[in-house]
Amino acid sequence: MPTVKGDGMRGLAVFISDIRNCKSKEAEIKRINKELANIRSKFKGDKTLDGYQKKKYVCKLLFIFLLGHDIDFGHMEAVNLLSSNRYTEKQIGYLFISVLIGANNDLMKLVIQAIRNDLAGRNPIHITLALQCVANIGSREMAEGLSVDIPKLLVSGDTIDSVKQSAALTLLRLLRSSPDSIPMGEWMSRIIHLLNDQHMGVVTAAASLIENLVKKNPEEYKGCVSLAVSRLSRIVTSSYTDLQDYTYYFVPAPWLSVKLLRLLQNYPPPEDPAVKTRLSECLETILNKAQEPPKSKKVQHSNAKNAVLFEAINLIIHMDSDPNLLVRACNQLGQFLQHRETNLRYLALESMCLLATSEFSHEAVKKHQETVITALKTERDVSVRQRAVDLLYAMCDRTNAEEIVGEMLEYLESADYSIREEMVLKVAILAEKYAVDYTWYVDVILNLIRIAGDYVSEEVWYRVIQIVINRDDVQGYAAKTVFEALQAPACHENMVKVGGYILGEFGNLIAGDPRSGSAVQFQLLHSKYHLCSPATRGLLLSAYIKFINLFPEIKHIIQDVLRSDNNMRNADVELQQRSIEYLQLSSITTADVLATVLEEMPPFPERESSILAKLKKKKPSSVPEGSEQKETTASKIPAVQMSNNVDIAPPTSINLMSQGESSTDDFVDQGSPQGGSASVDLLGLGSPTQPTAPSVGSGGLLDMFDTLTSHSSAPATNGIDLGGLSGGAEEAFRKFICKNNGVLFENDLLQIGVKSEYREDLGRLWVFYGNKTTFQLNAFLVDVSTPGNLSETGLSIQQKPVGGEVEAGAQVKQQFNMACVQEFAEAPVMTIQFLYSGAQQKISLKLPVVLNKYITPAEMDANTFFTRWKALNSPSQECQQIIKATSPIDHEQVKAKLIGFSVSVLEKVDPNAENFVSAGILYTRNQQVGILLRLEPNKQAQMYRLTVRASRDKVAKILCDLMQTQL
């Protein structure tokens, strides 16, 4: 029996006991500070600390760190321990580093050096320690530094198994953190054969690595399918005594089986019939085993067995090709739905969600509807209930929609707060998707608002309004229902919004009944007015002005309301403005104009439900891809189809529902693009209507809305790349030819600044990304590509990674190192992508790296200059251009430009003092190129003659082109 308690370190044990004896938090902090001071002084003063002491102190620091205190020293000592020959000292050093040192620590270079030493040594336990450290930190710097060593260890014949195992996982980690810095090589072709390795541990580790590689490039590793299947088959058909140590509670190699089954989920069903049959046999055996009586009562046995079973079911669902297997899988899951183990019920619900999306098994899943509904009502665990909601959502179709939606609505009343919002979205989507009768749809949504008003997001009530407006058969019903709903003594503000909008549009449809006559409708709405937020009041005011058009008989009542101090002098500017403008509009325009302006809203263009988009954003995993496909088949409903035309909405459009600038992007592009009817935007709180506008008809209003729309939608279109560079990129780039620092790009969201410095053939460039908005920019990604063949020959660029987020108002710095290998003409292009409030933004810019940056000015006298000038006389070495000056010729300015171009300005070389003579040396990695330049201005003609000679072909032409843009 091994015991790791060992001799231990007494000082450490005493310290820990002290801490545990502390009666209060203060006492604990005091003790810790004392210890930290002690360690600090030991590290500082005592140069003769031996390894044991260092180890002890580092151990104490680890303990203090675990208690939640920052450790800001000791790193150097830990790094020193790495080079110790003693295993235990090395071990603690590596532990400290992988727990405490972030990837960007200054000491990383030293750490990497130590790792390299250990990897190069032949002691396997040292190698393992080093690999563990790399795998746990996995920084880019490590990937770059060790990109050759680790793959070599993995496929080398004389590496022992445990090291191979570690090397596989280390490589996986590096591939994940910086895929581009691991050179692909011969190891790649050998890697899939590790699946045949004798040692199961190696196979397990390799399977993880291969899965990662396969995800990127399935074609290349296709060979792994048959290897994985045969390995799997050997495990599955073996008896539990065969694999001995890798049998876990009577289940042979459960881990490896799971890994292999996952790996196979990256490929379609195997084409080779032999492999296919073998795989089917495996899957059947796994399903059969599930029915056998358990070999042990222990939960570990059932866990291990079911882990494999669930993964097998996932694979069956993924292949989606064998109806027999699918139905068996479904029955198996059905059994689990009623299992006494909560874990199994949870997982069964989860897997069934996937199964519901397959056409073969969708019907089979529906058989379990009652069980799932019971689960929703009776499960004690919110995690499980959540899964039940997901499954109900996935199994819903035309036939059962009414029941499922009913059940979900009922459950919503008592649902956990944490899942309400998502449930609301799901109910809203199902109701819309499977509605046959739109009155039912309207009822469902109004019920949603009634039951869970707080969780009904804007998208949901926007959507019901869109649908009512687009379908004239439900308008009357909708008006009647909202009218009734509003009669409840307390109703949710969202109900008031929907009610206001719908009555404002269609109140006339129910005004025939004296119980819901015009005045009654108005009084009902207005009774809620004072309880609402300004935004809702604004909406109600718009409804009132629409009432004036619908019901001229109550015009005076409404005008009184608009005229009241409460509105006309409201502290809220928006309300004030609306009251005044609406009042004016109703007083001075003729009935005809009023009717035109306040006409019923035109139908909305059909588009993907924004609710669906919201749900996807909220829970990407909960909207399986399969359901997408189902949607298109399901949306045979005439009116509202799920088309994906979000992005191709017409460019000039009225912003109908925007609430000022806070409008949701989804709605920005809606409205009546043809501008046929000039409607007042009923919900557009941000767009005041001016009394003069209506007389202009469509044009004026449209223009007004246009400016508004383009303003509020600016973030969505800003800098969108239309195949080439972003606007202004070329000009900004030119500015940098003669200078090193400045602003490269700026729009409403982002400012990009650049600083750079060059020495000979090396350059360093910092790009500063400043977030100008008040929101976080997400998924911030910068990619630099070099056009044409430049990547191989001209410029070698190293890019430091930049974080995934840029906080509001924050600035992020990114460094590029660029070495000039040989001459290049085209600058690298950098593409910046990020998400701004959900919308993808892309900016393409030229990185201001140009050939002349690598020139160093050279001084020489007239004699030397002309000797050299004459020596460079072959046509390919010279380039001459006549250039028209873009600004008046100014001697000092031109001189400054030449200096900025990194060449010297030589005095007294040319007899004509107006002419410029310059020289420089272009440093490339391969050679140095002499540069001579003459610039002859002609003030009368406002022309320049520029001549460049260089000792290497092509260089003169490139430089001449660059300089020409500056004059």
Of 36-75, binders to other proteins (CB under 8 A) are 50-52, 59, 62-63, 65-68, 70
Q: Which is nearer to other proteins, 7 or 731 (CB)?
A: 7
Query: For other proteins, which residue of 262, 526, 563, 895 counts as binding (CB under 8 A)?
Result: 262
Q: Which is nearer to other proteins, 208 or 589 (CB)?
A: 208
Return the range that interacts with other proteins (CB under 8 A); candidates 8-16, 665-673, 759-767, 905-913: 8-16
Q: Which is nearer to other proteins, 350 or 681 (CB)?
A: 350
CB proximity list for 703: less than 8 A, separation 6 or greater: none
Helices (H), 530-672: 534-550, 555-563, 565-568, 573-588, 591-597, 610-618, 625-634, 665-668
Query: For other proteins, which residue of 57, 91, 112, 401 counts as binding (CB under 8 A)?
Result: 91
* Under 8 Å between Cβ of 843 and 750: yes
State the Cα–Cα distance between residues 127 and 336, nearest whole angstrom: 45
Please work out, in degrees rounded to the nearest 5, the angle formed at the alpha carbon of residue 755 by the alpha carbons of 749 and 759.
155
Q: Which is nearer to other proteins, 384 or 545 (CB)?
A: 384
Per CB under 8 A, contacts with other proteins among 416-475 are 418
Work out whether 135 is an interface residue with other proteins (CB under 8 A). Answer: yes
Per CB under 8 A, contacts with other proteins among 365-404 are 380-381, 383-384, 386
Return the range that interacts with other proteins (CB under 8 A); candidates 123-131, 640-648, 684-692, 726-734: 123-131
Overall size of the chain counted in residues: 967
User: What tokens does 533 get?
Assistant: 């937020």
State the Cα–Cα distance between residues 375 and 338, nearest whole angstrom: 9
Query: For other proteins, which residue of 7, 106, 592, 625 counts as binding (CB under 8 A)?
Result: 7
State the Cα–Cα distance between residues 445 and 464, nearest whole angstrom: 7
Please state, as a whole number, how many other Cβ atoms lie within 10 Å of the Cβ of residue 857.
17
Work out whether 205 is an interface residue with other proteins (CB under 8 A). Answer: yes
Q: Which is nearer to other proteins, 383 or 840 (CB)?
A: 383
We find the least distance from the C-beta atom of residue 224 to other proteins, in angstroms, to be 17
User: What tokens does 919 get?
Assistant: 């020289």
* Under 8 Å between Cβ of 434 and 634: yes
**What residues are paired with 929 via a beta bridge?**
922
Work out whether 357 is an interface residue with other proteins (CB under 8 A). Answer: no
CA 791 distance to own-chain centroid: 28
Query: For other proteins, which residue of 4, 490, 571, 913 counts as binding (CB under 8 A)?
Result: 4
We find the least distance from the C-beta atom of residue 246 to other proteins, in angstroms, to be 5
We find the least distance from the C-beta atom of residue 279 to other proteins, in angstroms, to be 19
Q: What's phi and psi for 677, nearest 5 deg?
A: -115, 135
Work out whether 10 is an interface residue with other proteins (CB under 8 A). Answer: no
We find the least distance from the C-beta atom of residue 170 to other proteins, in angstroms, to be 6
Query: For other proteins, which residue of 11, 124, 218, 770 counts as binding (CB under 8 A)?
Result: 124
We find the least distance from the C-beta atom of residue 629 to other proteins, in angstroms, to be 21
Query: For other proteins, which residue of 21, 41, 88, 644 counts as binding (CB under 8 A)?
Result: 88
Per CB under 8 A, contacts with other proteins among 163-202 are 165-166, 169-170, 172-173, 176, 200-201
Per CB under 8 A, contacts with other proteins among 877-916 are none
CB proximity list for 912: less than 8 A, separation 6 or greater: 936
We find the least distance from the C-beta atom of residue 382 to other proteins, in angstroms, to be 8
For 412-538, strand residue ranges (E) read none
Per CB under 8 A, contacts with other proteins among 763-822 are none
Hey, what amino acid is at 542?
S
We find the least distance from the C-beta atom of residue 210 to other proteins, in angstroms, to be 12
Per CB under 8 A, contacts with other proteins among 304-343 are 304, 306-307, 310-311, 342-343
Going residue by residue from 581 to 620, which x/- string records binding to other proteins, judged by CB under 8 A? -------------------------------------xxx
Work out whether 162 is an interface residue with other proteins (CB under 8 A). Answer: yes
Sheet hosting strand 943-950, strand order edge to edge: 855-857, 916-923, 928-938, 943-950, 878-884
Q: Which is nearer to other proteins, 87 or 871 (CB)?
A: 87
* Under 8 Å between Cβ of 542 and 499: no
Query: For other proteins, which residue of 41, 87, 109, 785 counts as binding (CB under 8 A)?
Result: 87
Going residue by residue from 220 to 259, which x/- string records binding to other proteins, judged by CB under 8 A? -------------------------xx-x-----xx--x-
CA distances from 124 to 8, 595, 754 (A): 25, 87, 47
Q: Roughly what angle, to the nearest 10 degrees, separates helices 51-66 and 10-21?
A: 20
Question: Long-range contacts: 231-238, Cβ < 8 Å, 24+?
Answer: 231/195, 231/196, 231/203, 231/256, 231/260, 232/257, 232/260, 232/261, 232/264, 232/279, 232/282, 233/278, 233/279, 233/281, 233/282, 235/260, 236/282, 236/285, 236/286, 237/282, 237/285
Query: For other proteins, which residue of 23, 122, 515, 636 counts as binding (CB under 8 A)?
Result: 122
Work out whether 35 is an interface residue with other proteins (CB under 8 A). Answer: no
